[in-house]
Amino acid sequence: MAAIKLDAKQERIVKTLEGPLFVSAGAGSGKTFTLTQRIMYALRPGSKPQGQWADPQVPEPFLDSIDQVLAITFTEKAAEELKERIRAALIDEGMDAEAAKVDNAWISTIHGMCSRIIRAHALDLGLDPAFGVAEYAEDLKRAAVEHVLRRAIAEDATGAGAYDDLLAAFALENESGSYSARSLMAILFKVLSAASASVGGLGAFCQVRPAPSHVALMEAYREIALAPATPTPRLPSAPSTRLTPMWAPRATWRRCARASPPATRSPCAGAAWARTRRPPSPRCAANGPCSLRRATWA
């Protein structure tokens, strides 16, 4: 038999047999392989702690038989694959007697385990031991909802019975504003699915106030859109001014003041500029320092 190689994490998982152990791993990471090796290790002599051996000289396995293993998978295919791997590993180890027990071992899906327990005590529960497990629960729920809904429609031909009450309770409307049976069926199916998954069942649900109808919202938006437009009040107009960039004229003035001697300095450095501190018009910057006296403000 070829030696099985395990990495550090897998070895820790395989040899941790006492107490709870949670392992999180993605697809293709070797979960089935590691689980198979963990079961094999638990069946090998010496896997039980030495302090629990009846004879200190005789190693004992942690599990006496494959019947003491409970392995739950998500799908039937995964359960069958796990069984085949465990059977092959037991045969390689020379445990043919244990390999013959794999088919009846507790290795299955959750509903397979539950049906096996119920079937073993079916007579005590007043059930037929030959009962079957529904394979497509979602389809059965949808069919049940449709059946009840059709019966309510047939009994409510006058439009004043249970079906009409259901439509009014959920305030169901389609785009044309009429009630929709398909919308009601979708809601009831979701409620039934949530109730079947809840411990409290339908008793855990409470009716809430429905949201406003989208048809009513569309009508409100349409009224707002078609309403006559009201004139927007105009604010008092400010004096007409023409703005010019502040940085360019000032830079021109500074160059003018620095380049001119004190005696022949251009009027741009005179009292008029000291009073206004406003930049000249673009014509000033274009015509040069001498034309600043002729610059006018719009």
pLDDT digits (tens, 9 = 90+) for 180-193: 667 777 877 887 87
d(CA 151, CA 113): 36
Q: How many CB atoms lie within 10 A of CB 9?
A: 13
d(CA 69, CA 58): 23
Q: Among residues 264, 274, 261, 267, which one has the least CA distance to residue 289? A: 267
pLDDT at 86: 96
Q: 46 near 58, Cβ under 8 Å?
A: no
pLDDT at 236: 60
Q: Is 70 helix (H, G, I), strand (E, B) or coil?
A: strand
- CA within 13 Å, CB half, 187: 14
Q: Among residues 5, 110, 101, 98, which one has the least CA distance to residue 45? A: 98
pLDDT at 173: 53
pLDDT at 148: 81
* CA distances for 272 relative to 16, 266, 275, 276, 278, angstroms: 95, 12, 5, 6, 10
Per residue in 151-199, pLDDT (tens digit) is: 877 776 665 566 666 666 665 554 454 556 677 778 778 878 787 777 7
Q: Which of 56-60, 223-227, 282-286 has the lowest mean pLDDT?
A: 282-286
Per residue in 205-252, pLDDT (tens digit) is: 665 555 666 667 777 778 888 887 666 666 565 555 554 444 444 444
pTM for the model: 0.49
Structure tokens at 59: 């190693």
Q: How confident is the model at residue 258 (pLDDT cuts 50, 70, 90)?
A: very low
Mean pLDDT of the chain, nearest integer: 75
Q: How confident is the model at residue 41 (pLDDT cuts 50, 70, 90)?
A: very high
d(CA 285, CA 236): 33
